[in-house]
Amino acid sequence: MKVKVSIFSFLREKLGWREKTVELDCNRATLREVLHRFPDLKEIVVNQKPEDFIILVNGRNIRHLKMLDTELSDGDEVVVFPPGGGG
Task: Return residues touching another protein (CB under 8 A).
Answer: 6, 8-10, 12, 51-52, 54, 56, 58-61, 63-64, 79, 81-87
Q: In terms of CB distance, is 25 or 76 closer to another protein?
A: 76
Q: How far is the CB of 83 from another protein (least distance, A)?
A: 4
Q: How far apart are CA 36 and CA 40, in angstroms?
A: 9
Q: How far is the CB of 12 from another protein (least distance, A)?
A: 6
> How many CA atoms lie within 13 Å of 77's alpha carbon, on the beta-carbon side?
7
Q: In terms of CB distance, is 14 or 42 closer to another protein?
A: 14
